[in-house]
A and B are shown apart, each in its own frame.
Chain A
Amino acid sequence: MSEHIYERIKKDPRFSDLQKRRGRFALILSILVLTVYYGFIMVVAFAPEKLATPLAEGMTTSIGIPIGAAIIILAWLSTGIYVRRANSEFDSLNKQIVEDASK
């Protein structure tokens, strides 16, 4: 029985649309996080002195501290952005597709 549903969903143009949109969104966010993280690792490996720059003239705190914190916060925010869109827009489209296929 479920095989038929799978067939019907697969043929539904909205499904390939959902697949494409959600896939692209996940890919963009993944690339963002990976680029930021490996970019950071590259700086750590090749130019660590860049991260040692003081935050402002005469300060001890280096720019490395807020940059590191920003990466952690960005990683968390990116999960929030994905969950928000996936749990509303993508899920409601998903629900319609499944409901129509189950009729």
Chain B
Amino acid sequence: MSLNRILTISGLFALMLLAGDPAWAAGAIEGEVTKQPVNLSAISMFVIFVCITLGITYWAARRTKSAKDFYTAGGGITGFQNGLAIAGDYMSAATLLGLSGLVFAKGYDGFVYSIGFLVGWPIILFMMAERLRNLGKFTFADICSFRLQQTPIRSLAASGALSVVVLYLIAQMVGAGKLIQLLFGLDYAYAVVLVGIMMMVYVTFGGMIATTWVQIIKACLLLFGGTFMVVMAMSQFGFNFEALATKATEVHKSGISLMAPGGLLADPVSAISLGLALMFGTAGLPHILMRFFTVTDAKEARKSVFYATGFIGYFFMVVCTMGLCAIVIVGTDSSFYDAAGKLLGGGNMAAMHLAQAVGGDLFFGFISAVAFATILAVVSGLALAGASAISHDLYASVFKKGKATEQQEIRVSRIATICLGLLAIVLGIAFEKQNIAFMVGLAFGIAGSANFPVLILSMYWKGLTTRGAFIGGFIGLLTALILVILSPTIWVSIFGFEEAIFPYNHPALFSMTTAFLAIYVFSKLDNSEQARKEADLFDSQSVRSQTGVGAEGASAH
């Protein structure tokens, strides 16, 4: 009894420590009020999702014949489909649960975050979308190495891509394990293994075709589920936002300050650094960049950003409204709190409790299944991006010097997918009890400080040389990594030192500047014959990137 009480009080922390044992974990999650060991409606709805997506994978596997089918779904996806798939790739379970949880706890600050996550998209469209489509084939390294030397640049791009993929995968796997434990009443390890296996099945057999459709279905489910939840919740306020705001500020402990930015982004350096990481990190995420190679041409590439921005922006507004509704509907209902006054399952469960409150058990089950499906879709995209960096960049270009056959390359990427899946399972279990809050931030930091600078300069700057890109890119990657290690999240929270050596949690402002500077300086210092040749190739690259002449076409099906 007393043990149970301690567990209840320590909330999520206890859950992290004791999650290995389901009986203890159940006590920690659900407290003494409600005990829901296994959530049957959620599990049955999730099984339906799995059956449908496996059917699609079977269908996709029969259509996946060439490397082009495997990596880019044959390049024949329309802008609308790709927009949905991008949205499906980008809106993770962290968005649904974390963002609504942030609004639930801090109000307006959560809204500020969501805006940062969105504004990168217009910039990607204006600066990159059509050039990505016109220059790229399977990976963003195709573009970086277009006129530079293959071996060093592809090694650099693959390092950047794989670092981002692995960090992101760990964060998703740990999140999946915890979430499934909470929602389905399953053991952490089973959940991680299940996610890993599903991901391997989708990607190995169905390649990009299956991944795309899993993402599209998941995006539709998420948009539908979110809309339904907000409509049901808003109906309690007569669809009047002012009524909701008044009620929320009355019941929340922060009161009226819910309606304005609080302490989360008070320090301007952190605010700008985070803004840069969110904006340009997005433009360096390998699984997002890869989506641009799946559409027919530059026209569709542009359209896909328009649709994706619309869906993502809409969803962010829905999620923030959800968080505000949860303040009133969940926050005033004591059945969602344990004896110690903590929200059951932790602060990130606000959206799930809201689903229960406005839609009952069935809808709660549906949203649980959607959250799980969301994780599956995101990890599949990541696995495919990681596998293509291994097979297309490292194996085919670096080791085989472009002499690998298409069948060999596909085989290697399937093996790579299985290896990544196993690695994700092992790391997911290993990091179960670790603080993983820094991982997504670090992934964005590396994406923005290594992948993005090399990619954007290779498109726009004639003076970029192999040496500059290689040295500068690695300097960017290492700077991001080292600064995160020295930051409060790792240095203080994990290593337990008194004070952080680097005071900011988001390194982007510093690591991006360092990367751009290093690339510039080392390119300028490069007077080699090779550098001159590379500059000469820029004009042809520039014409191709803007007109699409010579770009990869769609394969006929």
Contacts and interface: CB of A to CB of B under 8 A. Distances in A.
Contacts of B241: 61, 65
B130 interface: yes
Interface in A20-79: 22, 26-27, 29-30, 33-34, 37-38, 40-42, 44-46, 48-49, 51-52, 59-62, 64-65, 68-69, 71-73, 75-76, 78-79
A98 B298 CA distance: 14
A18 B111 CA distance: 38
Given A33-B122, A44-B112, A44-B271, A51 B317 contact: no
B243 to A, nearest CB: 9
B549 A79 contact: no
A44 B524 CA distance: 39
Contacts of B257: 52
A51 B111 CA distance: 12
A62 B127 contact: no
B305 interface: yes
B260 A3 contact: no
Given A10-B543, A37-B275, A61-B245, A76 B549 contact: no
Given A38-B275, A62-B259, A79 B268 contact: no
A64 B118 CA distance: 17
Contact of B246 (A29, A30, A42, A60): A60
Given A10-B543, A30-B126, A51-B108, A83 B303 contact: yes
B227 interface: no
Interface stretch (B306-314, B372-380, B383-391, B400-408): B306-314
A13 interface: no
| B interface secondary structure, majority | helix
A65 B265 CA distance: 17
Nearest to B300: A87
B405 to A, nearest CB: 24
B5 interface: no
B218 interface: no
B527 interface: no
B319 to A, nearest CB: 12
Contact of A60 (B242, B309, B316, B549): B242
Contacts of A52: 256-257, 259-260
B40 interface: no
B2 interface: no
Contacts of A79: 121-122, 125, 305-306, 309-310
B546 A19 contact: yes
A68 B268 contact: no
A72 B540 contact: no
Given A44-B271, A82-B126, 9 more contacts: A2-B544, A9-B543, A10-B543, A37-B275, A44-B112, A69-B317, A71-B119, A72-B313, A79-B309
20 contacts: A26-B127, A30-B122, A30-B127, A33-B126, A34-B123, A37-B115, A37-B275, A41-B116, A48-B260, A52-B260, A60-B246, A64-B108, A64-B261, A68-B108, A72-B114, A72-B118, A79-B121, A79-B310, A83-B303, A83-B305
